[in-house]
Amino acid sequence: MTTDHNTPRVAIVTGGSRGIGRQTAARLGREGYAVAVTYGGAKDEGEQAAAEVVAAGGQAIAVQADVADEASVAALFDEAERAFGGVDVVVNSAGIMRLAPLAELDLAELDAHLRTNVRGAFVVDQQAVRRVRSGGAIINVTSSLTRFARPGYSAYAASKGAVEAITLILARELRGRDITVNAVAPGPTATALFLDGKPQELIDRMAAEVPLERIAEPSDIADVIAFLAGPARWINGQTLYANGGAI
């Protein structure tokens, strides 16, 4: 999708070096977007993800940023604007997930969730509000765990519930700007973040809960994000639960 016949729409994808973010960047590349692929510490993976966007037919740069640091995120947006002339879409997919029962969770882990998943989303959204052009879209990646309520996920689900609240409020605050704000809440998805440390028996049990009888691939979620980024102009202030019908 392009802003006109010659100028591509421009997207920033945080967490773009891995998992859902990486698949989303490539998916937008297939739509002809110019993408700023954002990575935290894995420079090689960020550059590989950017190369995949180009191979898919888009334009891309890889940019390092700490999503919870205001100066770093402002520099990210500056770099995207220098490279491509502006920003139309922001996909907030950077996040962490560390599991433990609430009674046993180290509070430092809670603080880490709040810093990356909540403050990070807030800081990126704040810059997006200031920079995204009319006709644009802001898409936050949350989680169906806010509804699944599985034991061990209290810190992660709480952080994602906060992002869902931010999403609706921000959509209302942007009245008159012609910018949509939505969240996508994946269910179990075959990313390194999700699969790490889980036995196959548990993964199979989660897959069996889904009417489609599998867990999602990152590309399944990327398709939903691409829909919200482009043609879905009448969806606004919503959380779309992309989990194959598990809830």
Query: Which member of 33, 153, 156, 241 is catalytic?
Result: 156
Q: Is 156 a catalytic site residue?
A: yes
Angle between helices 120-131 and 70-84 (to 10 degrees): 40
The radius of gyration computed from the CA coordinates of the chain, to the nearest angstrom, equals: 17
The kind and range of the H/E element at 240 are: strand 239-242
Question: CA 23, CA 17: separation in Å to the nearest integer?
Answer: 9
Of 8, 170, 150, residue with least CA distance to 88:
8
Write the single-letter amino acid at 23: Q
128 Cβ contact list (under 8 Å, min separation 6): 12, 77, 87, 90, 138
Which residue type is seen at 213?
Answer: E
Do residues 149 and 157 make contact, with C-beta atoms less than 8 angstroms apart?
Answer: yes
Reduce the DSSP state of residue 211 to 3 states and report it: coil
DSSP structure string for 105-120: --HHHHHHHIIIIIIH
Q: Catalytic positions, please?
A: 156
